Amino acid sequence: MTQVRPVLVLTHVPHEGPGLIAAGVDGPVRVRTVLDDPDPRLPALGEVSGVVVMGGPMDADDVRHPGLVAERRLLAAAVDADVPVLGVCLGMQILALALGARLHLRHGSEVGFAPVDVVADDPVLGALGIRPTVLHWHSDAVDLPSGATLLASTPTTPVQAFRAGSALGLQFHPEVTRSMLDLWLATPDMTSALDPDEVEAIRADGATHLPTLVPAAEKAFAAFGELVRARG
């Protein structure tokens, strides 16, 4: 029996795990955190069926976290090798840097539930609809990598999602479940810049929007899982 290769999930903080992505993959997942490792031993691309890079509060180009350089190298190689890649929030910014795009620190803050305009078709992102209301939690932004297709945008953050070959980058957080949102809102690192009324507004908006967003996100990540399983 052929052994199924796992999906590598790179995390940066304990509370920003893969969430709904893991269920969509519907197969083995290997979670690693290499953020502060100057010489991380990451698996060879031939050993994985996909690569997922999650969010975190650090800057994508922060030299104080040497593992980010290794993540960038891995993502560039994965795109070259046509390995399915998914980058979320910080993960999208690392992906964009790996593909030669510029990072813009403190470009504009978006925190909470708000719509994004989907501007192009994509087999994964398309499951969310044309103007889904999603969870944002960022202040940095990136330029569109050369040759990539812009998929979604907001006035504050022109590049909210892009497709570059086998790679999909998402600046927002469709992976979040209700329990994950509760965890984020109880995590000081996530809420230190918010006042109590803003925290409660996000909680209330989650109760309103997640019942629609979660089933759509499940379909989106199932589509990503199909790309992963096609690699084997």
Cα(219)–Cα(202) distance, integer angstroms: 24
158-215 pLDDT tens trace? 999 999 999 999 999 999 999 999 999 999 999 999 999 999 999 999 999 999 999 9
Q: Could you confirm whether 12 is annotated as catalytic?
A: no
- The three-class DSSP label of residue 34 is coil
Give the tens place of pLDDT for each residue, 29-43.
999 999 999 999 999
**Domain annotation covers residue 1:** no
- The CATH number of the domain holding residue 52 is 3.40.50.880
Average of pLDDT values for 12-34? Answer: 96
Active site residue 138: no
Q: Which of 12, 71, 89, 136 is catalytic?
A: 89
Name the catalytic one among 12, 136, 138, 173. 173
d(CA 128, CA 217): 6
Over 70: is that where the pLDDT of 228 sits? Answer: yes
In whole angstroms, give the CA distance from residue 176 to residue 23: 12
Rama region for 75: left / alpha / beta (φ>0; ψ in -120 to 50; rest): alpha
Instruction: Answer whether residue 25 is part of any domain.
Output: yes
Instruction: Kindly report the pTM of this predicted structure.
Output: 0.96
- Domain range for 87 is 7-231
Report how many domains make up the chain. 1
**Can you give the pLDDT at residue 3?**
64
- Dihedral in degrees, nearest 10, Cα atoms 201, 210, 142, 220: 180
* Helices (runs of H) and strands (runs of E) counted in the chain: 6, 12
